[in-house]
Amino acid sequence: MTLNTDWAVRWIKGSAAVVSEHRVELITLDREIGDGDHGENLDRGFSAVLPKLDDLPADATPGDALKLVATTLISTVGGAAGPLYGTAYLKAAGAVAGHAELDGEAVVAMLTAARDGIVLRGKAEAGDKTMVDAWTPAVDAASSALADGLGEAAILDAAATAAEAGARATEPLVARKGRASYLGERAIGHRDPGAQSSALLLRVAADAAAG
């Protein structure tokens, strides 16, 4: 399936649905090592995006749709995740600006820019038990898939699968950024909520491309 604006809109609508379905799961994860609001924050943010999609002009690009997500998340989500995801979507939008359709290289550029935006904003490194631990393996897997000659949908699928593994791999870690870092070793055994939500969002991107 072509990664055009219809795809971006399916991704965004699917993201709102998945964040709503997984609201309690994300709240529970954040209650264990944070303040218990991650699911609510994201649900509020993506719900606020939905009505705005109707205002996208007919000639809107995927980047325009991603920019709408960015500005809405920045103004509605708050906490750590609002500015982090807001920056991710803003940088992703910039990386694909002007493209009516994304090819494999554009997909990798989009994912890389999103991850780099999160790192720029939050200064977390791999292994700090944050959403970066989902995004960095996703970017690496997407780059490998592109180098292997795979198409856009397969690149997104590889990214989502790597993000899911990355989110699981946060469980044994001690956190060095965010609220969970206050817990020291008590964070061990709990999955990072932002890494989990990142994996969910990337899976929706892949599903929207396969659809």
43 binds, among Mg ion, ligand ADP, none (CB under 5 to 8 A by kind): none
192 forms part of the interface with Mg ion (CB under 5 A): no
> What track of x and - describes contact with ligand ADP for positions 170 through 199 (by CB under 6 A)?
-------xxx------------xxxx----
Encode the chain in three state secondary structure: CCECHHHHHHHHHHHHHHHHHCHHHHHHHHHHHCCCCHHHHHHHHHHHHHHHHCCCCCCCCHHHHHHHHHHHHHHHCCCCHHHHHHHHHHHHHHHCCCCCCECHHHHHHHHHHHHHHHHHHHCCCCCCCCCHHHHHHHHHHHHHHHHCCCCHHHHHHHHHHHHHHHHHCCCCCCCCCCHHHHHHHHHCCCCCHHHHHHHHHHHHHHHHHHC
Residues 129-158, interacting with ligand ADP (CB under 6 A): 130-132
110 binds, among ligand ADP, Mg ion, none (CB under 5 to 8 A by kind): none
Residues 49-108, interacting with Mg ion (CB under 5 A): 79
Q: Which of 68, 84, 173, 204 binds ligand ADP (CB under 6 A)?
A: 84
117 binds, among Mg ion, ligand ADP, none (CB under 5 to 8 A by kind): none
Contact positions toward Mg ion, by CB under 5 A?
30, 34-35, 37-38, 79
